[in-house]
Amino acid sequence: MEKRKLGNSDLHITRVGLGAWAIGGAWRWGWGHQEDKDSIAAIRRAVELGVNWIDTAAVYGLGHSEEVVGAAIKDMPANDRPYVFTKCGLCWDDRDNESREAYSCLKAPSVRKEAENSLKRLGTDAIDLYQIHWPNPNGDIEEAWTEMAKLKEEGKVRWIGVSNHTVKQMERLTKIAPVTSLQPPYNFINRTIETDILPYCQKNGIGTIVYSPMASGLLTGKMTPERIASLPDDDWRKQDYNYTEPQLSRNLKIVDAMRSIAEKRGVPAAQVAIAWVLKNPAVTAAIVGMRRPSQAEETVGAAGFALSDDEVESLNQVQNA
């Protein structure tokens, strides 16, 4: 699979990486029931197919996603082990564990403690990329970043990046230490970052690993109104703006257009959605959520599948209609 250098780092990452949010299992922002054995099989299959990095976060499943990632990679030979990227800034305590909630904290001692806990759960000596999950509270991002730069100097993390940050916030952090990467949302129905964030990253050599390339499953062609209605109550998507009317019907017209391209080209519709984000030259790679081995098999091919300019234009026409 084609690899690209991530920002100023020495990491050469495949254009598709595995996103480990859904495999965290039940919590406030969970995706319904998830079996760990399916998650572990999905990770191993993705790695077999060439994926060389995993994105997780301490908060996904309140630590559980990191534990599952750690279990999946534990016995892999060092040369075959994927890079592991994780995030800090969303914490929980015993009280939160009962309600399965989390709270924001970017204070230095908290960031350090989070990194140490993540290292234990992942069973690794160093986190390949450590990211601030959300810039909350905004006034504390410099404090967190200064601590993350120290963790990098100590070798506990190899590179440092951010997620969900604005250009102004990245400018503030750059005064303290270089920002290796940004992790923003990007897919055909959420193109907000095209205006200023992607151009800023491209100009300043900041790698971009974009999340939710299939709009969390909506753009795969398999998400019908019937399936949405039958999603369990503990799947956050059931209440999401994009999954409810009137937005859902608009989105499903785009899905139909993607499905039509996919049928002509003989690939799963999910690959059309992922290939669309990868066509943007400012995008280093896409983080694709995979819960089962079959999802890895159906999506990884997007890294080698290019949409033509005419196909992209046909999608734009549906969006503008």
Nearest to 85 by CA among 152, 153, 18: 18
- Using CB under 6 A, which of the segments 145-153, 166-174, 249-257, 281-289 binds ligand NAP? 281-289
Q: How far is the CB of 153 from ligand NAP (least distance, A)?
A: 25
Using rule CB under 6 A, residue 213 touches ligand NAP? yes
Interface with ligand NAP (CB under 6 A), residue from 290, 300, 303, 315: 290
Q: How far is the CB of 290 from ligand NAP (least distance, A)?
A: 6
Using rule CB under 6 A, residue 287 touches ligand NAP? yes
284-316 burial by CB neighbour count: b if 16+ within 10 A, else e?
Answer: bbbbbbbbbbebbbbbbbbbeeebeeebeeebe
Q: How far is the CB of 270 from ligand NAP (least distance, A)?
A: 4
- Using CB under 6 A as the binding rule, the residues of this chain from 301 to 320 that contact ligand NAP are none
In the chain the first and final C-alpha atoms are separated, in Å, by: 36
User: Is 186 a residue of the active site?
Assistant: no
Q: For tokens 């160093």, name the residue.
A: 126
- Using CB under 6 A, which of the segments 105-113, 245-253, 291-299, 300-308 binds ligand NAP? 291-299
What is the four-CA torsion angle of 101, 168, 118, 20, rounded to 10 degrees? 70
- Using CB under 6 A as the binding rule, the residues of this chain from 62 to 121 that contact ligand NAP are none
Q: How far is the CB of 48 from ligand NAP (least distance, A)?
A: 16
Distance CA 218, CA 222 (A): 7
The answer to whether the beta carbons of residues 65 and 21 sit under 8 Å apart is yes
Nearest to 181 by CA among 38, 1, 4: 4
Using rule CB under 6 A, residue 20 touches ligand NAP? yes
Using rule CB under 6 A, residue 186 touches ligand NAP? no
| Nearer CB in complex with ligand NAP: 66/147 | 66
What 3-state class would DSSP assign to 22?
helix
Using rule CB under 6 A, residue 181 touches ligand NAP? no
Distance CA 279, CA 318 (A): 18
Using rule CB under 6 A, residue 27 touches ligand NAP? no
Using rule CB under 6 A, residue 182 touches ligand NAP? no
Which region, left, alpha or beta, applies to residue 265 given φ > 0 means left and ψ of -120 to 50 means alpha? alpha
Using rule CB under 6 A, residue 180 touches ligand NAP? no
Distance CA 193, CA 200 (A): 10
Q: How far is the CB of 262 from ligand NAP (least distance, A)?
A: 11
Question: Which residues contact ligand NAP by CB under 6 A?
Answer: 19-22, 31, 55, 133, 163-164, 183, 211-217, 220, 222, 268, 270, 287-291, 295, 298-299
The residues annotated with a catalytic role in the active site are: 60
